[in-house]
Structure 1
Amino acid sequence: MEGDVLGTLRALGYTGPLVEADALSQAVQEGPCCPDFTALCSWLVSELKTVSPVEECVTSTTGPEDSETFQLEISGLVSELQCPYQSLTTGNVTSRLDIRESCVQLLLFLGSELQAARVLHARQSSRAPRQVPRADCDDEVFGELRALCQALGTAEPARDVPLSQLFTDLEAKIREATCRLPPTGVGKPLLSCRLEPGQWEHLEVIHRAMGVEYECRRQMLISRLDVTVQSFHWSERAQQRGAEMQQLYEPLRRALSATTSITLGHLLSAREDLSVITKTTCRSNREKTACAVNKILMGPVPDRGGRPSELEAPMPAWESRRSGGGGGGGGGRRQKWGGKGRKHKPS
């Protein structure tokens, strides 16, 4: 179940300290006494309140002394959301989350509620006429639109302009800008055909499946990196400077993420030159990747053999026949199965 919780949190965009499996396992073990666990619940509830009319609030704690207050707030929340888990709605209010399984169920319930609320909110928003986000809000969508307008040399979008009209104007501006470029300036798109709505849905399914596959691969590579770095700490010199090594490695490690940032927008912006595959050992690439280490040659090394062409096939020893163990049996068999009138010399 903890694996389901991790997958749900990553799908929801959670980037807190409990995104790692070990940290999450420790947090659900401590339950409401863990500040990270209560902070995660508070984040899920705050995200839920942005897309659904939830009245109850859940605040994170600073220590075990606030665990009872936190459980009282969770009790009111699950009652409002009509939680189906009896372990979260029955029994003593201040001890419902003392069990590890109850904490995992709480995270699964809040995560699923948030996912469902976001889907319903997206459907309702798609039916209503959408406006351009306000300029004074820190919205990622507005930031992208503003950067696009600046690149095209147009004014920033007004607050009361529908998105459909804005995209129509931007498309016309982009077509006008691309006409002034040389024929090979942008290149032909890799996706040259128009897709139907059903095909886009199928493409989205493929994209999610590939995202899960490559996320597993990236997680494996990150785990290999962690093991490799840990092996450097085994030497005596490294143990003396372990704190310095950890201080240098931690910022780089936190920057590595197993989740992918590739979207379907990258497919639309991909050009035909992206499908050209060149070898990493070709001359043009080696001019950029060659370094001084490649020019170091190994000295003479001892010959350890191992060439099959210089080996002779081993001959059978026939020890059993020389000792007389197999001769009698063989003679008896020949005498038993020999033809009529044939004589055999005694061995």
Structure 2
Amino acid sequence: MESDVLDILDQVGYDGPLSDEESLLAACEQGFSSSEYNNLLLHLSTRLTQITDRPAGDSLITEDPDRFLLELNRLLTEFCCPYKDVVSGLINGDAKDTKTHLKILLFLGSELQAAEMVASKAATDTDVELDASLQDLRMICKTLNLPDPKRQEARDVLTAVEKEVCVLLKKLPETHIGNPAFKGSLDVEKWNKLEEINDVLSADYECRRRMLIKRLDVTVQSFSWSDRAKVKIDQMAKAYQSKRYSLALKSSVTLAHLLAARDDVCNLVKTSSGSCREKTTCAVNKIRMGAVPDRGGRPSEIDAPLPEMPVWQKRVDGGNRGGRGGRGGGGSWNSGGSRGQWTQGNWKTGRKGHYYH
């Protein structure tokens, strides 16, 4: 459980004195008599109530131990803590073991992590609702070190952008920026159609990214199965998780990238071309393989396999069934041994003297 608590504390940005397993277990063993443990509870509860707009966390700032436990119990009850034994133990004075204190940290940390995710999603949804053109314009102003466009008239913003771009272009060589790849014009219908195409492609790219990231998670998880890695599981998680959560699932490609593309993106060069091979050739490429045996594999030269079972024929009217002959004048079945054999003739008895039909 201490590993889960440390992972959550790291994800919510806690870097206090209880960031390692040894210090965390020592503080949880002392419980509410440890000032570092109480400070961590206060830190988690304060951030949690600030994000969720609930005033319960501020009441933990008290020097009275009984009042502290009472307010902590009220906080856990308000957030519907599933550990009923922990909530009741705070009032009865039974919350004394290390596992109970770890449960409190695990619950508060999980609630804080969930609250931050909900708040982040709400902020993202708000940004998505903004006009896409305004987002692109804000990005342009940020790149050119211009003021925020929301505080100015649109005409003034575009004039300032044009001026700054002209100044920067004069500082660059003439051939620095090539011709645009797209030279046509788009009406409203074409713009909407391009948006639909981009949405479909973005959904496909997101699916592929999810698959690759899941494969990455499984691969990294398999590294921790060895005995040597189990003792360093926390170090591995700390080194991996910061890079893992920086991987975006959704594609950031928009129609602005289409307009910004230059005509050099249309130049396709094969990897086997002379210009590419000048920098990739090596001594191994100069070794020629000799004659190798023919491994076949050509479907046109392969014969059809023999039938696994005999070809059965239809029953002929008036056919001879004497001596228990085969059906419709076909072959007969010899039950020699436990497995019969196909022979031309009459039915034969098996080892037990029974006829097989």
Tell me the TM-score range normalised by the shorter chain: 0.3 to 0.5
TM-score (normalised: structure 1): 0.44
Where is the helix percentage greater, Structure 1 or Structure 2?
1
Larger Rg: 2
TM-score (normalised: structure 2): 0.43
